[in-house]
């Protein structure tokens, strides 16, 4: 419940659509996404996000922050102790507010999810 | 401008007075005498010795015809002056190995004048822009959408393969979240950055390098 409340804080930022947490191995740990995103589809996406980040780490660029630009939307990724916090947002989101808030949320996430 | 007969007369007087250098035991190798171009002969039909005489101005390259009045830079031996003929001074073979500054090999009263073609920019210090490019640790890879490698520069040999993989994986991530395509991915590490983006409809570009040198990329992506 604490994790869900933390993720809901992100929705206070205008343009944020949803968020989820991915383990370093690609497992979907927590999600706070709109209903239209099915769990199975999101699990697959989470594992792909983890593969992208692992590939980068294997080549010497261990990502702390990352962004996927989809044109009409963005997926912002922040590394934390237990994995990666992913935030889905629209293209016009205020990246500065998102960056600061997501870092606070990632820091507040408990070690055991 | 001296006429050939005057040059011949001056050379004979120098030889008679003993100030002319001794005739070498081996006669100098004369360049092949250019045959006069026949009427109606096109330039392509001329012999190469005519086309590439050292006194002709090259058509390409950054070279200038210089007149060195001091010691000639180390650009190889400069031909010493040989006996004058009616056609002008004959150049000695390049294998003579006599430096231009050696006064004993030169007739008295003649200035050490070199009229060689040489690149003036050889001795110039390297421009700071080029030096900075040498020090750059940024790698760039350009691929086609099909994965064909178009360009690659920089020390990161893994970048083309990684760019191809990340581009495909990012497309799947985009489609899984309800979008058509992924225009770019930017990942920031503690010291390095990896960015992949679409460069046109059929080209993908991957860039990696230190954070300091790719701060513009981070700023564009909203990571800074």
Burial class (CB in 10 A: 0-12, 13-18, 19+), B179: buried
Contact at CB, A48 and B165, closer than 8 angstroms: no
Just give the CATH number of A2-108. Answer: 3.30.450.30
CA distance A29 to A26: 9
Contact at CB, B173 and A71, closer than 8 angstroms: no
Residue in chain B nearest A73 by alpha carbon: B179
Give the CA dihedral B211, B216, B221, B222, nearest 10 degrees: 90
- Say whether residue A100 is in contact with chain B using an 8 A CB cutoff: no
- Tell me the nearest-neighbour CA distance from A112 into chain B, angstroms: 24
pLDDT category at B188 given cuts 50, 70, 90 is: very high
Average pLDDT over residues A86-92: 96
A49 contact residues in B (CB cutoff 8 A): 173
- Tell me the nearest-neighbour CA distance from B145 into chain A, angstroms: 17
Q: Single out the residue of B39, B152, B157, B23 nearest to residue B92, CA to CA.
A: B23
Contact at CB, B189 and A61, closer than 8 angstroms: yes
Q: Single out the residue of A5, A2, A11 nearest to residue A34, CA to CA.
A: A11
Q: Give the pLDDT of residue A1.
A: 75
Average pLDDT over residues B11-25: 61
Contact at CB, A60 and B188, closer than 8 angstroms: no
Collapsing DSSP states into helix, strand and coil, what is residue B132?
A: helix
SS3 of B25-57:
CCCCCCCCCCCCCCCCCCHHHCCHHHHCCCCCC
| pTM, full prediction | 0.62
Least confident among A4-18, A74-88, B73-87, B196-210: B73-87
Least confident among A64-78, A81-95, B10-24, B88-102: B88-102
Is the pLDDT assigned to residue B144 strictly greater than 90? yes
B173 contact residues in A (CB cutoff 8 A): 45, 48-49, 52, 68, 75
- Selecting from B176, B184, B185 the residue whose C-beta is nearest the C-beta of A44 gives B176
**Two tokens at B108?**
């008295």
Q: What percent of chain B has pLDDT over 70?
A: 42
pLDDT category at B100 given cuts 50, 70, 90 is: very low
ipTM above 0.90, yes or no: yes
B193 membership: H or E segment, kind and range: strand B192-198
Q: Name B204's bridge partners.
A: B143, B198
pLDDT category at B20 given cuts 50, 70, 90 is: low
- Say whether residue A48 is in contact with chain B using an 8 A CB cutoff: yes
CA distance B67 to B54: 14
8 A C-beta contact, residue B171 and residue B181: yes
**Two tokens at B44?**
């392509």
Contact at CB, B177 and A45, closer than 8 angstroms: yes
**Two tokens at B157?**
């040999």
pLDDT category at B17 given cuts 50, 70, 90 is: low
pLDDT category at B11 given cuts 50, 70, 90 is: low
- Tell me the nearest-neighbour CA distance from A64 into chain B, angstroms: 5
Is the pLDDT assigned to residue B159 strictly greater than 90? yes
Contact at CB, B174 and A70, closer than 8 angstroms: yes
Is the pLDDT assigned to residue A46 strictly greater than 60? yes
- Say whether residue A44 is in contact with chain B using an 8 A CB cutoff: yes
Q: What percent of chain B has pLDDT over 90?
A: 34
Please report, for chain A, the start and end positions of each structural domain, with discontinuous segments joined by +: 2-108
A61 contact residues in B (CB cutoff 8 A): 187, 189, 192-194, 208
- Say whether residue A28 is in contact with chain B using an 8 A CB cutoff: no
Domains and CATH numbers, chain B: 1-13+79-123 (no CATH), 137-221 (3.30.450.30)
Mean of the per-residue pLDDT values for chain B?
70
Pairing of strands A16-22, B139-144: unpaired
State residue B44 phi and psi, 5-degree precision. Answer: -70, -20
CA distance A86 to A94: 16
- Say whether residue B219 is in contact with chain A using an 8 A CB cutoff: no
Is the pLDDT assigned to residue B90 strictly greater than 60? no
CA distance B204 to B196: 7
8 A C-beta contact, residue A3 and residue A85: no
Q: Give the pLDDT of residue B22.
A: 53
CA distance A75 to A18: 10
Residue in chain B nearest A43 by alpha carbon: B176
Instruction: Work out the angle at residue A97's Cα, subtended by the Cα atoms of residues A91 and A98, and round it to the nearest 5 degrees.
Output: 55
Long-range CB pairs of B119-127 (<8 Å, 24+ gap) are B119/B61, B119/B62, B119/B63, B120/B62, B120/B63, B120/B64, B120/B66, B121/B62, B123/B73
Least confident among A12-21, A74-83, B78-87, B182-191: B78-87
CA distance B155 to B136: 9
Q: Give the pLDDT of residue B41.
A: 46
Q: Give the pLDDT of residue B116.
A: 61
Collapsing DSSP states into helix, strand and coil, what is residue A64?
A: coil
């Amino acid at each position: 419940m604490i994790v869900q409340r933390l993720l809901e804080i992100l929705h206070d930022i205008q343009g944020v659509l949803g968020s989820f947490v991915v383990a370093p191995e690609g497992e979907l740990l927590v999600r706070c996404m709109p209903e239209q995103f099915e769990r199975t589809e999101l699990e697959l996406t989470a594992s792909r996000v983890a593969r992208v980040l692992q590939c980068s780490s294997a080549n010497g660029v261990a990502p702390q922050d990352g962004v996927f630009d989809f044109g009409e939307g963005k997926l912002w990724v922040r590394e934390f102790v237990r994995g990666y916090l992913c935030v889905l947002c629209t293209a016009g989101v205020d990246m500065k507010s998102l960056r600061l808030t997501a870092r606070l949320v990632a820091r507040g996430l408990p070690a055991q999810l | 401008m001296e006429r050939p007969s005057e040059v011949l007369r001056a050379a004979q007087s120098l030889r008679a007075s003993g100030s002319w250098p001794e005739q070498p035991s081996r006669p100098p190798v004369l360049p092949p005498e250019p045959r006069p171009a026949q009427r109606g002969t096109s330039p392509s039909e001329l012999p190469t010795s005519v086309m590439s005489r050292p006194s002709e101005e090259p058509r390409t390259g950054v070279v200038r015809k210089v007149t060195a009045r001091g010691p000639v830079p180390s650009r190889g031996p400069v031909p010493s002056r040989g006996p004058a003929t009616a056609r002008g001074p004959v150049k000695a073979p390049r294998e003579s190995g006599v430096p231009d500054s050696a006064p004993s090999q030169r007739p008295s009263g003649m200035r050490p004048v070199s009229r060689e073609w040489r690149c003036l920019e050889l001795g110039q210090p390297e421009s700071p822009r080029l030096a900075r490019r040498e020090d750059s640790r940024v790698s760039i890879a350009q691929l086609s959408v099909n994965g064909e490698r178009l360009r690659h520069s920089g020390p990161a040999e893994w970048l083309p393969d990684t760019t191809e993989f990340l581009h495909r994986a990012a497309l799947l991530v985009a489609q899984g979240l309800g979008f058509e395509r992924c225009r770019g991915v930017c990942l920031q590490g503690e010291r390095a950055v990896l960015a992949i983006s679409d460069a046109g409809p059929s080209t993908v570009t991957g860039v990696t390098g230190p954070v300091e040198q790719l701060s513009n990329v981070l700023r564009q992506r909203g990571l800074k």
